[in-house]
Amino acid sequence: MSVESGFWHSLAKNKHVLQLQQKGSVAVSQFKTASRQVQIAVAAGAVVVVIALGSLMGGSDGGTSAGSTFEVRRGTFDVIVREGGNIAALQSQQIRSSIRGNQGVKILAIVEEGYRVTPEDVASGKILVELDSSSLEEQKLNQEIAYETAEAQYIERKAQLDIRVNQNVTDLNSATQTMKFARLDFERFLGANVVADLVKTLQIEERLARNTQTEAPVVSGQMETRLEQIAQTRQVRQQGRRPTSTDNGGGAGFDPANADQMPAAFRERMEQMRAQNGGEIPAEILERMQRGGGTPAVVSADAEETALERDPVESLELAALDDVSLPVTPAMLMDADYLAVRATLNFSDFADETQLEDGEAKQFLRTLMENVRVAEENYLQALARLEGQRRLAERDFITPNDLEVEESRLLQAESKLDQTRTEMALYTQYTFPKDAEQQLANYENAIMSFQRTKAEGDSELAQAQARYKSAERRLNLEAEKLADINEQLALTVIRAERPGLVVYGSAEQSGQPFRGGGNQEPIAEGATVRERQPILTIPDMTEMAVRVNIHESSVQRVAEGQKVVVRVDAFPDVRLTGEVTKVAVVADSGNAFMNPDMKVYPTMVKVDGVHDWLRPGMSAEVEILVVSLDDAVYVPLQAVTYIDNKQVVYVEQSGRGVPREVEVGIFSEQFIQIISGVRAGERVMLLPPRQLASSAQR
């Protein structure tokens, strides 16, 4: 391996030099594809450049065999990217015909080509092109008539819709009030919470919420689950019921173990009797209470279920289970699902003071219970007096007539007690369920009336809305047509929007040179232009730029905002400044067919200032300042090499090259920054000594 090849092998390890090698590989590929004459010319030029560099950088002092040397420099160090490009307007306005139609439109007047549009022209709205508008004026007149007709129909439909909406509000208001009053009457009778539980069980509020929807049929499993929930609720209520009155024909009899379920006053009397009789209830009193007469007792669940089996409403509930697959119409309250749940209600379960809230039913029930309590109190007092009179009679302290009077009073108290208990039993078994059913029926009828009113109103409202929407769409359509014609009329006059030079359009500018563009008339007064045909192009001469293509090896260094020096080929002595305003994120594919290995990125450089002599298309060269260091130490790229993976330079000492490790920084096309290792003024070898390179190869 030669000294030169060993040097470039070590230099390839440097990450900065690798980037330059990538750019060099592209140049090599271009060199190989060039003609023989071009290759000879390039090779000869390279030899001349090498000789010139050797003379500029100075020879090796002391006749060193390692080659030429270079004095380490210190000063301003700039990294610059140079590329060539073309001058172009940063912004340009292309004016096309926007008048629709296959026949086109004639140009009545147009500004002369080459006219320079000034900022004053833009401010005053100078007319550049005026197109024929006679046919559009005729279309506008006919469209205005159609719009006025549609507007009159829209106003009529809008009024009809407002009337229907107000009527629906009035009808629904009345139906809602009726339904609300029926609910209040129901709550006044049973209590708000009791009614709320019933409404929840019947799902009345849910049905009202979805009364305008259509649901699928209710499956049997859902109905059975609902009925099971109702049965469980009833069972819980039965277990927590207060004692009710049995009928006059007897009953389950009095059970002393259930005394805790009796009224407080009755329990106190029972405790007094036990205390006076050695802890036991007197046998006579216990016999009378168990014999009948409607003493308080707890109705068993079995007896109640037996009664329910004979109830025709319960039969309806069981029959509903066989028909639960019928489709449900949520718009109406009285459907199969509702009737099945409704049949499970038994208002006799609520005929208890603990089940009711403050209301008419509870108030009346309290009155009946108070009457029973008073009758029981009177009965116990009469019974106690009779017992005392009997003890007095046994000692002859009273006459037999007095004893008969007390016995008569006891019978009267017993009769009164039976009467109040019977009255309470009749209310709880017949009057209360009937009144509760009537209140619920009134509430249901009010709901059904509300739903009918709402359904009828919705139907009428839907028709009114359909008519209104149709009229609205018709009016909007006619308005859009009229606005479109007015917009087309406005487009017949084209005004200046930005300053620049006026250039007439051509078939090539339309982007369709092979689709009949050659048959278009030249732009002039009286010519016919079609839709989307270019009429004028006005580049903005106040903002010029250079469009360049940055090679892929340098594009990572270029960024928006970097300062640029611009030199125009036509004016080589003029130095312009600029700034990078845009760098493409993907490579340009325009030249991929001619040179697929060439990857360049379109970049736009804005030129500072306004220069009247600049014209689009002029050739220019840009120097993009990537980075600039005011005080840096630097050497040529080839002076840096590698020894044992360390970056070194060969410093000339006593006619010999001594390797010294260095730390490098940024680099340009020719030089590289030395951060530490050498000082300004020292001389470094451009190539490593041959003997060191040979020993390194061994």
The Cα–Cα gap between 377 and 240 comes to 26
Contact assessment for residue 246 and residue 295, using Cβ atoms and an 8 Å cutoff = yes
Q: What is the mean pLDDT of residues 525-547?
A: 89
pLDDT tens sequence across 133-165: 999 999 999 999 999 999 999 999 999 999 999
d(CA 641, CA 634): 14
Judged against a pLDDT cut of 70, whether residue 99 lies above it is answered with: yes
For residue 648, the model assigns a pLDDT of: 92
d(CA 133, CA 126): 19
What pLDDT, on a 0 to 100 scale, did the predictor assign at position 329?
41
User: Of 258-272, 319-333, 417-431, 562-576, where does mean pLDDT reach its minimum?
Assistant: 319-333
For the stretch 360-386, pLDDT in tens is 888 898 899 999 999 999 999 989 888
Residue whose C-alpha is closest to residue 116's, from 622, 539, 683, 456: 539
- Is the pLDDT assigned to residue 4 strictly greater than 50? no
pLDDT at 184 over 80: yes
> Above 50 in pLDDT, residue 246?
no
105-120 residue pLDDT tens: 999 999 998 888 888 9
Q: What is the pLDDT of residues 608-636, one digit of tens each?
A: 998 888 888 899 999 998 888 888 999 99
Secondary structure (H, E, C), 393-405: HHCCCCCHHHHHH
Q: What is the pLDDT of residue 471?
A: 95
Q: What's the CA gap between 230 and 570, in Å, rounded?
A: 100
**Are 191 and 364 a contacting pair, CB within 8 Å?**
no
- pLDDT at 114 (0 to 100): 84
The secondary structure of 4-58 as a DSSP string is HHHHHHHHTTSHHHHHHHHHHHHHHHHHHHS-HHHHHHHHHHHHHHHHHHHHHH-
- Per-residue pLDDT band for 670 (boundaries 50, 70, 90) equals confident
pLDDT value for 519 = 58
- Please report the pLDDT score of residue 79 as a whole number: 87
Q: Are strands 500-501 and 503-504 parallel, antiparallel or unpaired?
A: unpaired
Note the pLDDT of residue 282: 63
Hey, what are 283's tokens? 């046998």
With CA atoms as reference, report the closest residue to 110 among 127, 88, 91, 135. 127
pLDDT score for 281: 67
DSSP one-letter code for 447: H
Q: Which residue's entry shows tokens 């940063």?
A: 90
* Mean pLDDT computed over 19-25: 42
> What three-state secondary structure class fits 572?
strand
- More confident site: 352 or 412: 412
Both tokens of 60, joined, read 């090796």
What's the Cα-to-Cα distance from 340 to each of 103, 114, 313, 316, 329, rounded to whole Å?
75, 92, 10, 7, 14
Winning range, highest mean pLDDT, from 215-219, 503-507, 548-552? 548-552
pTM of the entire predicted model: 0.41
The answer to whether residue 250 scores a pLDDT higher than 90 is: no
Q: How many Cβ atoms are within 10 Å of 457's Cβ, its own excluded?
A: 19
Q: Which residue has the higher pLDDT, 496 or 254?
A: 496
Token pair belonging to 104: 């086109």
Q: How would you label 312-336 residue by residue, b for 16+ Cβ within 10 Å and e otherwise?
A: eebeebeebeeebeeebebbebebb
- List the one residue out of 243, 293, 265, 290 whose CA is nearest residue 377: 265
The mean per-residue pLDDT over the stretch 334-342 comes to 83
DSSP secondary structure of 486-531: HHHHHHTEEE--S-EE-EE--TGGGT-TTTTGGGSPPSSTT-EE-T
The pLDDT value recorded for residue 520 is: 67
Q: What is the average pLDDT across 256-275?
A: 58
**Residue 7: pLDDT over 80:** no
Q: How sure is the predictor about 44, in pLDDT bands with cuts at 50, 70 and 90? A: very low
For residue range 587-616, list pLDDT tens digits in order: 887 666 667 778 899 999 999 998 888 888
- Residue 283 half-sphere exposure, CB side, CA atoms within 13 Å? 0
- DSSP letter (8 states) at residue 236: H
Task: Let me know: does 687 contact 67? Beta carbons within 8 Å.
Answer: yes
CA distance 60 to 654: 11
The pLDDT, as a whole number, for residue 52 is: 42
* pLDDT bracket for residue 350 (50, 70, 90): confident
Between these two residues, 568 and 301, which has the higher pLDDT value? 568
167 pLDDT more than 70: yes
For the ranges 27-31, 316-320, 372-376, 421-425, which has the lowest average pLDDT? 316-320
Instruction: Specify the range with the lowest mean pLDDT, choosing from 61-70, 486-495, 618-627, 684-693.
Output: 61-70
Say whether pLDDT at 543 is over 80.
yes
pLDDT at 244: 40
- Model confidence at 22, pLDDT cuts 50, 70, 90, reads very low
How much is the pLDDT for 307? 37
Supply 336's token pair. 């199969």
| Mean pLDDT to the nearest integer, 445-469 | 91
Say whether pLDDT at 132 is over 90.
Answer: yes
What is the pLDDT, as a whole number, of residue 689?
75
Which amino acid, one-letter code, is at 45?
G
Closest by CA position to 412, among listed 379, 377, 384, 368: 379
Q: What is the pLDDT of residue 290?
A: 52
Q: Return left, alpha or beta for 485; rule: phi > 0 is left, psi -120 to 50 is alpha, else beta.
A: alpha
**How confident is the model at residue 347, as a pLDDT?**
85
Arithmetic mean of pLDDT, 168-190: 92
CA distance 686 to 638: 6
CB contact at 8 A, 371 and 423: yes
| pLDDT score of 275 | 67
In this prediction, residue 10 carries a pLDDT of 38
Confidence class for position 55, pLDDT limits 50, 70, 90: very low
CA–CA distance, 354 with 562 (Å, rounded to integer): 89
Beta bridge partners of 607: 578
Higher pLDDT, 468 or 19: 468
Half-sphere exposure of 212 (CA within 13 A, CB side): 10
* pLDDT for res 149: 95
Interatomic CA distance for residues 499 and 658, integer angstroms:
66
How high is the mean pLDDT of the chain? 76
Phi, psi of 338 (to 5 degrees): -65, -45
How far is residue 532's CA from residue 530's CA, in Å, rounded to a whole number? 6
Q: How confident is the model at residue 396 (pLDDT cuts 50, 70, 90)?
A: confident
Say how far apart CA 60 and CA 71 lie, in whole Å: 11
Q: What is the pLDDT of residue 112?
A: 92
In angstroms, how far apart are the furthest CA atoms of the chain? 170
Share above pLDDT 70 across residues of the chain, in percent, rounded to a whole number: 69
Q: Which residue has the tokens 């600039």?
A: 628
The distance in angstroms from the start CA to the end CA of the chain is: 10
CA distance 648 to 641: 5
CA 63 to chain centre: 80
pLDDT at 460: 93
